[in-house]
Structure 1
Amino acid sequence: MASSSSSWSPVCFLSGLLLMASTSMAAAPRKPVNVPFGRNYVPTWAFDHIKYINGGSETQLVLDNYTGTGFQSKGSYLFGHFSMKIKLPPGDTAGVVTAFYLSSTNNEHDEIDFEFLGNRTGEPPILQTNVFTGGKGDREQRIYLWFDPSKAYHSYSVLWNLYQIVFLIDDIPIRVFKNCKDLGVRFPFNQPMKIYSSLWNADDWATRGGLEKTNWANAPFIASYQGFHVDGCQTSVEAKFCATQGKMWWDREEFRDLDAYQWRRLRWVRKKWTIYNYCTDRSRYPVTPPECKRDRDL
């Protein structure tokens, strides 16, 4: 596989690429099903702060003024479709962060982040996404959610292939990070990642830059999980390439870009719900980052 990677020429797919409108990228060929926590995941710390319900089909993470907790996937994956149904802690959650992300394990790591930033009662929750490639992050985008994520389960998903990384909520794309390696932007393609989730106190930065502190009178904070869906190319952390690369459904042409309907949904999120995009932050980036220049909406 190493020789084939050197001959592959990655391309950012531009607005001229149109896919069949009937294609639904989010509706993966293998429909996500509810599987027990223990099939794909193990706790990583503070085991006594994880609760298992209905044989592990539902799992709860608990944060109190002593500790938070988290879990990770048993395997490492190179490309695929990964989703989690999450119900966030309710009420005043300022300072509390619930994270769902993929990450490699070396110093120049790759990472794909969902971070739910708690807020004061009555204020909308904030979802921050980020992408690290080769150890470089600082690609934050923040949106308000159009629903209360503490009242019901919602599906949060990542599609990752050689062409793009797509963040989705209930099958609605909220962010796309294209492979722009030809512009000198590194893209995750050879470092397997594990899947993680955690619930922890981050009141030094999470809410209004750390001005709002966690109110421990509201503890314990509980995040609930279902639908531990993993459909990826499993490999070891030492492997550079997946043995099935190029043969899986997420490599097919219809999953290399959003279709017209998905682009409309993404534009709706950007227009109505986005509150921060690093691509348009001229104070941080006087020169637009290269990958942003190919965004059809900027």
Structure 2
Amino acid sequence: MIKHSELILNPDGTIFHLHLKPENISDRIILVGDPARVDTIAAHFSEIEFSAQNREFKTVTGIYNNTKLSVISTGIGTDNIDIVINELDALVNIDLESRTIKEEKKSLDIVRIGTSGGLQEDLRVNSFVVSQKSIGFDGLLNFYAGRGEISDLEFEKAFRVYTDWDASLPSPYVVDASKNLLSKFDSTEFSRGVTISAPGFYGPQGRELRLPLAHPHLNEKIESFQHAGMRITNFEMESSAIYGLSKLLGHQALTVCLIIANRVTLTANENYRDEMQKLISKVLDKLTL
């Protein structure tokens, strides 16, 4: 039995942070950072079955194209993803009453729709990028057993050597997207690439305001790095933990991002809402057709 201190439930029986019960979610989950984007996506649903919110974690479950979907906001960062993925898995693979792990495991489809910064000159603002792999600068997956078995260790080694990775930084990990979900986005509308999840928006992504960077040339190395025909295309802040934890727990995961800034050409689209609506519609259709 899993102890109360390890699996915390609220007085109403919902799981601690998400405030959800197993019947409140679908097997197909869309993750977004911004709670307001949950409503933007839910506006496409023909029917709303359930909604709840606690802190930054907002959930709406409804119907789109005769398919049940749940949209959940995570807030920003891989630390929040650690909460969301573990609690979603607990909802479907742990009996919350007996606090025991179920013998028959359920696999969820988990797709993140997010915004991102491009790291290649040809990756224009307002383009859509699917993360074939994700590199974690956050170090989260290193706290879990089995991390080496689900990671691309050759890619990790090549990246560390090429960038002369500083041992004082968290050891980067690299995890693949779900092949099944990736195949749904096999079209010219979507670029494919390798996404870095950074543990911050400023210094960890090479932005300098008043604080000088410890590694001011790291982004240049990132932009020029290639391995096995793949290059690093964009920065964001969540996908590495989504990929890593999902892979360890037996779920399918994919991240699709709208490029709202290009760090090489120094261009940006601050008014990206219309482009995000286009991406949302495309993702919803591809997940339900």
TM-score tier after normalising by the smaller chain length: under 0.3
TM-score normalised over the length of structure 1 = 0.25
Task: Tell me which protein shows more helix as a share of its residues.
Answer: 2
Decide which structure has greater strand share. 1
Q: Which has the higher contact order (CA 8 A, sep 6+)?
A: 1
